[in-house]
Chains A and B, each alone.
Chain A
Amino acid sequence: MCLGIPGKVIELYESSGMKMAKVDFGGVVKEACMEYLPEIKLGDYTIIHVGFGISILNESEAAETMEMLKQIDALGEETPGV
């Protein structure tokens, strides 16, 4: 139920007084409500849950985390046995 899928905002507009967007999920485009993301702009990646954007994915946080996770391994000695 709390499933959230990342997608890219490709169009922003207003409908019934609400901020709406077209969001591209790797080729599948769906409409979503952006009322909870007042700062969203074209090209941002957002997590969509039941038709609503709930976060703007933070690219620098993502890069930092990925770098950190990869470094953990660089410090390791064992060869993974899986």
Chain B
Amino acid sequence: MKYLDEYRDADLTRKLLADLRKTITHSSKTPDRGWTLMEVCGGQTHSIMKSGLDQMLPPEINLVHGPGCPVCVTPLELVDKAIALASRPDVIFTSYGDMLRVPGSDRDLFAVKAAGGDVRIIYSPLDALKIAQENPGKTVIFFGIGFETTAPANAMAVVQAKAQGIRNFAMLVSHVTVPAAIRALMESPDVKVDGFLAAGHVCTVMGYWEYEPLAEKYRVPIVVTGFEPVDILHGILDCVRLLESGRPEVWNAYARSVTREGNKPAQAIIQRVFETCDRPWRGIGVIPQSGYRLRPEFAFYDAELRFPEIQAIDTKESSLCISGLVLQGIKKPHECPAFGKECTPQTPLGATMVSSEGACAAYYRYGRISHR
């Protein structure tokens, strides 16, 4: 398959690893630990584990895993609200598949489905609109989660619902944004990151101009990075080059998809449908101006306003789970005492163990039980 196979090429991967070894000069300001790079996106984390890149990198490179897993950072309160909504007999609850096994305070959406709730996995938010048209007697709620990559798609569902007069559709919104998360990480005294691999598909939509002031302010290089092994090594190599030469700049290692300005029509619909708001991130806490909510002109489609009775829910988080620290790159999954013991994909204590982008799920699936 074009644009995939050539970026999974083993020979090129070996060549780039050799070049990376030569680029590291050991002149790091923190020689005891080399360079700590954070890949922001959980999709990249899984690609790194699946391809074994983490085990092939020079020892001077320490990869830590970032908060770029929307399923993982969706606040427990909203998961509980989703479960309450999905349990209603007058509701068809639609969601991306990853969300169904995320633990709520006392159960997950799969348990609701098993108990007879109408919970459906969809591939695209437009599928939720079709279900709404086919089921006029029910309210179809879509769990609108995601980063900037997903925001234009979710926004289109709301715009189309309005344009087509589909009134039995509503969205439970939990949108978050990457630059706000990078800012929060760099402001945290516990987070030690020398450089970032920025998420290639978020930047495909948003461009990377937003990251330039961050790189300058926090003196940290940021490299826009793709998802295949060659792309990820390209991103790491560029990031190390910037670190070794002391240049806190933004580079683009995913130029076949990303431009500095991003996708303007996609940005325009985000602006039209959503407004920026403070958002709580599961395990991390409220990050100012880090999310999107529906603008007042689309309030009719806001599931939280449509069903105000679900506003107050007492949440109960696992006392063992350290997913918040994992999502900030402070701890690695296998450093959690519950990892692989009380917490497995079959009995998850946190969302990071079940999401296809969760770092704990990646470590478990690819057997990184005790690796650095």
Residues of A that sit less than 8 Å from B by CB: 1-4, 6, 8, 16-18, 25-26, 32-33, 35-38, 45, 47, 49-52, 54-55, 57-59, 61-62, 64-66, 69-70, 72-73, 76-82
For the complex, what is the distance from the CA of A69 to the CA of B164, rounded to whole Å?
48
**Contact at B43–A16, with CB atoms within 8 Å?**
no
**Contact at B15–A26, with CB atoms within 8 Å?**
no
Instruction: Give which listed residue, B123, B160, B200, B265, contacts A36 with CB less than 8 A.
Output: B265
Taking the closest CB of chain B, its distance from the CB of A48, in whole angstroms, is 9
* A58 partner residues in chain B, CB cutoff 8 A: 255-257
**Contact at B2–A70, with CB atoms within 8 Å?**
no
**Contact at A35–B255, with CB atoms within 8 Å?**
no
**16 A-B residue pairs with CB within 8 Å:** A2-B150, A3-B43, A4-B149, A4-B201, A16-B164, A36-B263, A36-B266, A49-B201, A50-B125, A50-B150, A55-B258, A55-B263, A57-B257, A62-B3, A79-B18, A82-B18
**Contact at A69–B12, with CB atoms within 8 Å?**
yes
What is the number of residues of chain B that contact chain A, defined by CB distance less than 8 Å? Answer: 62
* A59 partner residues in chain B, CB cutoff 8 A: 256
Instruction: Give which listed residue, A16, A49, A66, A77, contacts B149 with CB less than 8 A.
Output: A49
- The reply to whether the CB of B1 lies closer than 8 angstroms to some CB of chain A is yes
* A82 partner residues in chain B, CB cutoff 8 A: 14, 17-18, 56
- The reply to whether the CB of B67 lies closer than 8 angstroms to some CB of chain A is no
Taking the closest CB of chain A, its distance from the CB of B324, in whole angstroms, is 18
* A2 partner residues in chain B, CB cutoff 8 A: 41, 43, 68, 70, 146-147, 149-150, 199, 201-202, 357
* B255 partner residues in chain A, CB cutoff 8 A: 58, 61-62, 64-65
Instruction: Give which listed residue, A1, A6, A8, A62, contacts B357 with CB less than 8 A.
Output: A1
Taking the closest CB of chain A, its distance from the CB of B98, in whole angstroms, is 7
* B269 partner residues in chain A, CB cutoff 8 A: 35-36
For the complex, what is the distance from the CA of A18 to the CA of B3, rounded to whole Å?
27
